[in-house]
Structure 1
Amino acid sequence: MRVLRWGLLLTLLAMFDTAMAAVCVTDDIQREVCLEKPASRIIALSPGATELLFAAGAGGQMVGAVSFSDYPPAAKKLPRVGSYKRLDLEAVLSLKPDLIVAWHSGNPLPQVERLQALGLPVYYSEPRRFEDVSTSLERFARLAGTQSVGLGAAEAFRSGIDALRERYADAAKVSVFYQVWKEPLMTVNGKHLISEAIQLCGGENVFADLPTLTPRISQESVLEKNPQAIVAGGMGEDDPGWLAPWRQFASLRAVKNDNLFFVAPSTLQRPTPQMLIGARALCRHLESARARH
């Protein structure tokens, strides 16, 4: 009888240890993602997800990423599993991941769903607000067992954004056109994270009411909106070339007051902690626009 009781106790302890090791989080499309233990072989299917995982302290557990995953520098050394638009499923499977972080609106869903069908845990990432960046850091840290790093990074990002929100809460409004691409000409609507950055700095996105997240627009529509400032990301980290063509429109308020601004795309076009750097730069630019009004 004593042996039986000891056997039962050991079984219960083993079950308790397993339960304690298991981790569950809710992803950005409200699916519960559970792992038997913290992930040790993670693949990210977007450059933004790669950056978030490193920021959450999980860089050491990453075994693969898609093309253009270039930050931090250590991310460049990860094996590639295709691009975010076209995955190399054989490369993914060969790396034997125990967690895949997918980009819900950017990755080819049939390919991601095939990975799910093969039994691989998939977390769908889709940060749309600043708070989503912080919660992503917290969730990734939990999935990777790196809470001490991830929770600190999340809090630092929240604090930085809150400080900007407080500083520019009463700032005079500046109408802004943000150019996300040149050919075709594209911008962002009011639901995009970049638009939240504009609002944070006391700006007003002139295309906020468009239904598509990153809509194509015409040059004529920008001239009609006549924004006080034009902000562009350009093709590289130090390439403000997209701003030059607007100078031909001398009557445009942004041109007349020399309010043509460049913000490095990696700091504003990826939903990662680097957005704090981009938001600070954007706020400085809009403050300059106010001074020239």
Structure 2
Amino acid sequence: MPKHLFVIAWLAAFRLSHADVSVIDDTGATVRLAQPALRIVSLAPHATETLFAAGAGEHIAGTVEYSDYPEAAKKLSRVGGYSRFDLEAVAALKPDLIVAWQSGNAAAHVEKLRALGFPLYISQPNRIEDVASELERLGILAGTSTVGNAAAKQFRERLAGLQKRYAQRPTVRTFYQIWKQPLMTIGAKQIISAVVSLCGGENVFAGLESFAPTVTVEAVIAANPEAIVASGMGESRPEWLDDWKRWTSITAVARDNLFFVQPDLIQRHTPRLLDGAERLCQHLETARSRRQTTQ
């Protein structure tokens, strides 16, 4: 290639890599950067994981506690917890992009960061499909679209496979338990409710609008779920899941349909959500198989 053409090509590539980038975040706001972000602060564990999946891990300057996946995320600087992060610590990292969590971060703290002039992308992927879109959008903002787009494509293909496999399966009425005291479940807007539907399940508390409503034992008994699924806080099955065994009138108890899904796989809005979905779908298949043996 003649030297002058090489220079022209290099300049074009330079301008492209330094061009304005913009996306629409989950609140409908436009996020515009003069160039792809090189120093990102993530204020949510799920956002940290998704940034890594979108190829932007090396651009993360800091994050919050419990950002523990992938392994490299454990080595990142911390700015506090997602519900009470340290504003000064965030500012000290001089980010050119902050990824915040609409339902997890304190709104007042997020607005203070906005008032300080930091560009903000607000994340709140409430539908399974939103995970793929977030991979693409964060890839654009970080200048790693090649990786982000490929990850999004893979996610959509895997999701389509699960939809095809379980779309026609008989419905399983399902109670998903987040915690024991208070007794918390999932409402219609929670992404886990969409996972239950993906697997051919029916969230018995889908009529509740809040993300994590509190319910009573009596309400669960009245709903009479065919399967009870719990997450808890760690990698082990929570002991309190077996507390339901005293309520033998519940179909899920009578058929021993008390199941566990690791919380990191289903309570984070990340590509691993489909790992959790596969486990939940398998549990509901077990529940279906037990209909024959108990009839």
Q: Does the alignment reach a TM-score above 0.5?
A: yes
Corresponding position of 1:61: 59
User: Which of 181, 199, 210 is the equivalent residue of 1:201?
Assistant: 199
- How far 1:138 sits from its partner (Å)? 0.1
The letter for the 2-side match of 1:61 is H
- How far 1:244 sits from its partner (Å)? 1.1
> In 2, are the aligned partners of 1:234 and 1:241 still within 8 Å (CA)?
no
User: Are 1:211 and 2:209 an aligned pair?
Assistant: yes
Task: Measure, in 2, the Cα distance between the counterparts of 1:290 and 1:72.
Answer: 34
- How far 1:19 sits from its partner (Å)? 9.7
Q: 1:19 to 1:47 in 2, by over 3 A?
A: closer
Task: Measure, in 2, the Cα distance between the counterparts of 1:147 and 1:242.
Answer: 43
User: Which of 75, 78, 88 is the equivalent residue of 1:77?
Assistant: 75
Corresponding position of 2:20: 22
Corresponding position of 2:289: 291
1:207-237 CA-partner distances (Å, limit 9, x unpaired): 0001212100011110111100000002201
User: Are 1:240 and 2:238 an aligned pair?
Assistant: yes
Task: Measure, in 2, the Cα distance between the counterparts of 1:79 and 1:282.
Answer: 34
> In 2, are the aligned partners of 1:233 and 1:264 still within 8 Å (CA)?
yes
Q: Percent identity?
A: 55
- How far 1:18 sits from its partner (Å)? 7.7
Task: Measure, in 2, the Cα distance between the counterparts of 1:172 and 1:198.
Answer: 13
- How far 1:35 sits from its partner (Å)? 0.6
> In 2, are the aligned partners of 1:188 and 1:215 still within 8 Å (CA)?
yes
Corresponding position of 1:143: 141
Task: Measure, in 1, the Cα distance between the counterparts of 2:123 and 2:139.
Answer: 14
Task: Measure, in 2, the Cα distance between the counterparts of 1:47 and 1:195.
Answer: 20
Task: Measure, in 1, the Cα distance between the counterparts of 2:281 and 2:177.
Answer: 16
> In 1, are the aligned partners of 2:17 and 2:35 still within 8 Å (CA)?
no
> In 1, are the aligned partners of 2:176 and 2:229 still within 8 Å (CA)?
yes
Task: Measure, in 1, the Cα distance between the counterparts of 2:237 and 2:245.
Answer: 16
Task: Measure, in 1, the Cα distance between the counterparts of 2:88 and 2:22.
Answer: 27
Task: Measure, in 2, the Cα distance between the counterparts of 1:159 and 1:239.
Answer: 30
Task: Measure, in 2, the Cα distance between the counterparts of 1:30 and 1:114.
Answer: 19
Corresponding position of 1:161: 159
Q: How does 1:256-267 map to 2 (within 5 A)?
A: 256-267=254-265
Task: Measure, in 1, the Cα distance between the counterparts of 2:15 and 2:265.
Answer: 42
Task: Measure, in 2, the Cα distance between the counterparts of 1:124 and 1:34.
Answer: 13
- How far 1:190 sits from its partner (Å)? 1.7
The letter for the 2-side match of 1:210 is L
Unaligned runs of at least 5 residues, structure 1:
1-12
The letter for the 2-side match of 1:112 is V
> In 2, are the aligned partners of 1:229 and 1:260 still within 8 Å (CA)?
yes
User: Which of 170, 179, 192 is the equivalent residue of 1:172?
Assistant: 170
Q: 1:146 to 1:31 in 2, by over 3 A?
A: same
> In 2, are the aligned partners of 1:18 and 1:36 still within 8 Å (CA)?
no
Q: How does 1:25-104 map to 2 (within 5 A)?
A: 25-104=23-102
Corresponding position of 1:4: none
Q: How does 1:100-139 map to 2 (within 5 A)?
A: 100-139=98-137
> In 2, are the aligned partners of 1:57 and 1:149 still within 8 Å (CA)?
yes
The letter for the 2-side match of 1:230 is I
Task: Measure, in 2, the Cα distance between the counterparts of 1:68 and 1:199.
Answer: 28
CA RMSD of aligned residues (A): 1.6
Question: Normalising to structure 1: TM-score of the pair?
Answer: 0.93
Q: How does 1:273-288 map to 2 (within 5 A)?
A: 273-288=271-286
> In 2, are the aligned partners of 1:174 and 1:286 still within 8 Å (CA)?
yes
Unaligned runs of at least 5 residues, structure 2:
1-10
- How far 1:121 sits from its partner (Å)? 0.3
Runs (4+) of structure 1 exceeding 4 A deviation are none
Task: Measure, in 2, the Cα distance between the counterparts of 1:226 and 1:192.
Answer: 21
Task: Measure, in 2, the Cα distance between the counterparts of 1:204 and 1:142.
Answer: 36
Task: Measure, in 2, the Cα distance between the counterparts of 1:282 and 1:78.
Answer: 31
1:159-184 CA-partner distances (Å, limit 9, x unpaired): 11111111111100100000011111
SS in 1 for 2:140: helix
Task: Measure, in 2, the Cα distance between the counterparts of 1:71 and 1:113.
Answer: 27
> In 1, are the aligned partners of 2:221 and 2:249 still within 8 Å (CA)?
no
> In 1, are the aligned partners of 2:174 and 2:202 still within 8 Å (CA)?
yes
